[in-house]
Amino acid sequence: GKRLLKAVASGQSGALARRETTQRLEDLARAELSRLKAARKLDPFKVETVVRFLVGTFIGFMDWWMREENEHLPAEQVDHAFRSLVLPGVANVLELELELPKAL
């Protein structure tokens, strides 16, 4: 009855919210990558690959951080860990000179 309908509706709205969040994050990542390029055209396939990787990894990382056992971790530490893990790959694939964070 109503309970099932509510569960389906909330599931759909949750999926929609997640899709919208993912799309916004992808737009932000694209904007940031185009800001980083050194006045040269970046390969569209490589950019899209990096965008999808960054956003998927970011969402997974946030899910992990939000777990009860990890909620004590400070935002700065989590941000540093994320950047330490992803920036070398981004720099390599897009052939960008990026200042890489110190290792974890």
Mind listing the pLDDT tens digit for each residue in 33-81?
888 765 567 788 998 999 999 999 999 999 999 888 988 999 999 999 9
User: ∠ CA 30-39-49 to the nearest 5 degrees?
Assistant: 30
- Radius of gyration, CA atoms only, the chain: 17
Contact 65, 78 (CB under 8 A): yes
Q: Which of 46, 26, 40 is nearest to 91 (CA)?
A: 46
User: Would you give the end-to-end CA distance of the chain in angstroms?
Assistant: 51
pTM: 0.76
